[in-house]
């Protein structure tokens, strides 16, 4: 697959600090009871949700779960690459290049069609088409691009209805691939833009009417 062949090693370090301190604790029976009740309710809800997700995944065959449109989880992919990067490779990457790589991967999609074909669309909209097969146990995904003799083999580590994690060889390294269900094209800023255009149109219409009134008075 083209998307992995062009990836660079990205260094991503996230150092998080937690501030502890003298938080006051009120030893009241009512507070303890409410807290325990809230925790129990939350745990119950989480358990039910996990059971529903598990049941949903178990009722679908691996091939059926894969046959949909996916986007790439840039943060997860880069974090996995970081684990195998050398110190030299880590130092070679700047913050700007890391963010640029994330943006590029965020624009790319991979659609596995039910008929055994796929379409890999890169950040510039260029498409790579080919065929794919998944083993019965859902552990081996094989793809072959149109016009290519070589097949790419991905070892599937995890496959659910909304996530796929796999590993494949790129040169002498093993790369981790993480995909999530495609959520649709980004609409960020669309509403704001349309609202701005609307207001601009209203302003121009008002100016036009004001000009007509001025002409009538003359």
Token representation of residue 27:
């030893």
Structure confidence at residue 22 (pLDDT) = 38
Structure confidence at residue 90 (pLDDT) = 82
Name the band, by pLDDT with cuts 50, 70 and 90, for residue 198.
low
Q: HSE on the CB side for 129, CA within 13 Å?
A: 4
Q: What's the chain's Rg over C-alpha atoms?
A: 26
Mean of per-residue pLDDT scores for the chain: 75
Alpha carbons 79 and 77: distance in angstroms, whole number:
5
Q: Which domains does the chain have, with CATH numbers?
A: 57-181 (2.40.128.280)
pTM check: above 0.85: no
Name the band, by pLDDT with cuts 50, 70 and 90, for residue 60.
confident
- Of 48-52, 56-60, 119-123, 207-211, the range with the highest mean pLDDT is 119-123
Token representation of residue 186:
């980004």
**Secondary structure class of 87 (helix, strand, coil):** helix
Q: Which of 12-26, 127-141, 188-202 has the lowest mean pLDDT?
A: 12-26
């Amino acid at each position: 697959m083209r998307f992995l062949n062009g990836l660079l090693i990205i260094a991503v370090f996230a150092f998080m600090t937690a501030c502890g301190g003298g938080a006051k604790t009120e030893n009241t029976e009512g507070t303890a009871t409410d807290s325990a009740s809230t925790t129990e309710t939350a745990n119950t809800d989480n358990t039910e949700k996990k059971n529903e997700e598990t049941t949903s995944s178990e009722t679908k065959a691996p091939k059926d779960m894969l046959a949909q449109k996916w986007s790439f989880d840039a943060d997860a992919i880069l974090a996995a690459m970081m684990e195998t990067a050398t110190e030299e490779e880590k130092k070679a990457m700047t913050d700007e290049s890391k963010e640029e790589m994330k943006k590029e991967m965020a624009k790319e999609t991979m659609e596995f069609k039910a008929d055994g074909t796929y379409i890999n669309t890169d950040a510039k909209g260029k498409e790579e088409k080919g065929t794919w097969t998944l083993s019965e146990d859902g552990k081996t995904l094989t793809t072959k691009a149109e016009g290519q003799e070589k097949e790419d083999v991905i070892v599937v580590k995890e496959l659910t209805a909304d996530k796929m994690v796999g590993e494949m060889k790129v040169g002498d390294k093993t790369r981790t691939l993480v995909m999530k269900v495609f959520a649709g094209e980004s609409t960020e800023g669309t509403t704001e833009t349309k609202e701005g255009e609307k207001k601009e149109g209203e302003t121009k219409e008002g100016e036009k009417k004001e000009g007509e009134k001025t002409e009538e008075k003359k």
